[in-house]
């Protein structure tokens, strides 16, 4: 199900352009327009889920696929095996688009703790 007011649903539909890296019938990956690392892309399910806390059991396999695809294409896009995976939930945690999305950040050293 699409949400007509959702930025990422509009990207999925093709109404808003994105630099796509990977697409199949369930997931889409594209470069972040405001990168926070030398390499920074997003992986999203095509199903509209507002965030991690909105997931149901039936979404577990789909979000597992989001993680697997992100890790695989990181290697294919010059990131290699050293990258950070981030899901934000809620505005207070930095979520700005309320369609679940996974950030993959790489190409520089990552500090800990984050935030």
Please confirm, yes or no, whether 40 is among the known catalytic residues. Answer: no
Paired tokens of 66: 């989001």
Strands of the 27-31 sheet, one edge to the other = 20-23, 27-31, 39-45, 102-106, 83-86
Q: Compute φ and ψ for 10, nearest 5 degrees.
A: -65, -35
- What is the C-alpha to C-alpha distance for residues 2 and 35, in angstroms, rounded to an integer? 26
The residue annotated as part of the active site, out of 40, 48, 101, 103, is 101
Kindly list the catalytic residues.
Answer: 101
């Amino acid at each position: 199900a699409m949400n007509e007011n959702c930025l990422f649903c509009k990207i999925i539909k093709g109404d808003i352009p994105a630099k796509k890296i990977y697409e199949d019938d369930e997931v889409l990956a594209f470069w972040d327009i405001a990168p926070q690392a030398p390499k920074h892309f997003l992986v999203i399910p095509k199903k509209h889920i507002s965030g991690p806390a909105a997931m149901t059991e039936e979404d577990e396999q789909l979000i597992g696929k989001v993680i697997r695809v992100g890790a695989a294409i990181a290697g294919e896009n010059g990131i290699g095996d050293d990258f950070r995976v981030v899901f934000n939930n809620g505005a207070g945690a930095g979520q700005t688009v309320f369609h679940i999305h996974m950030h993959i950040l790489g190409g520089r050293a990552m500090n800990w703790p984050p935030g």
